[in-house]
Every structure is written in structure tokens, then in C-alpha cells.
Amino acid sequence: MFQIIAHVKPTENSRHFAKYKGAYAVLFINYKDIDGAFELAKYYIKEEDWEIIELEQEYFVIEDKEGLDENYSQYYDEIIDSGYSLIFNLYENEED
């Protein structure tokens, strides 16, 4: 399993567009190779109506549940069952 981080912003179609300026997306992708995991990360972000500002090239390999940061261990079963989990850490527009 891979952990990939991306800096993203909501598209105009996103329900978050008016309120949030952006987010740091943490993706856990249970896939056999990193190239495929990066392609899936791009796909999942786009499907959620977010645009990638920067996709970090550094990634983490997670071997098991104990390898997950405790903040993310609750998502382990979802990752195993569906093949991925996508968590957005949102930040608001400065005008708010």
C-alpha cells in the first residue's frame, strides 16, 4: 500500500469551491506498483472535483495497519476493502 500526498484546490464544480481555498489530500492506495498508484491518485482526486496543484513525488510504503500513522489507522479496513482511501485536510479562503 502507498501513501501519496497532494496539494489540491476545488474546481468550480466542487461543493467546496466557495468556502475552501484548498486542501492537502492524503491518499492511501493499495496497488502493486507506484506508477499505477500515482495514476489512480490523479483519477480519484479529479473524480472528487479537485484540481492538483502539486503531487508530491515522495511517497510512503505501508506494509500493514501498524505502519499507518495513528491518525489514519481508522481508514485501514476501507483501504483494504475498496483499494483506496482519500482524506482531505481542508483550509478556508482567507476572506472568511
What are 36-59's pLDDT values in tens digits? 999 999 999 999 999 999 999 999
Nearest CA among 54, 63, 8 for reference residue 30: 63
Nearest CA among 94, 93, 95, 96 for reference residue 9: 93
Q: Express the helix, strand and coil content of the chain in percent, nearest 5 each.
A: 30, 40, 30
For 72-95, what is each residue's pLDDT tens digit? Answer: 989 999 999 999 999 999 999 765
The total number of structural domains in the chain stands at: 1
Domain of residue 87, residue span: 2-92
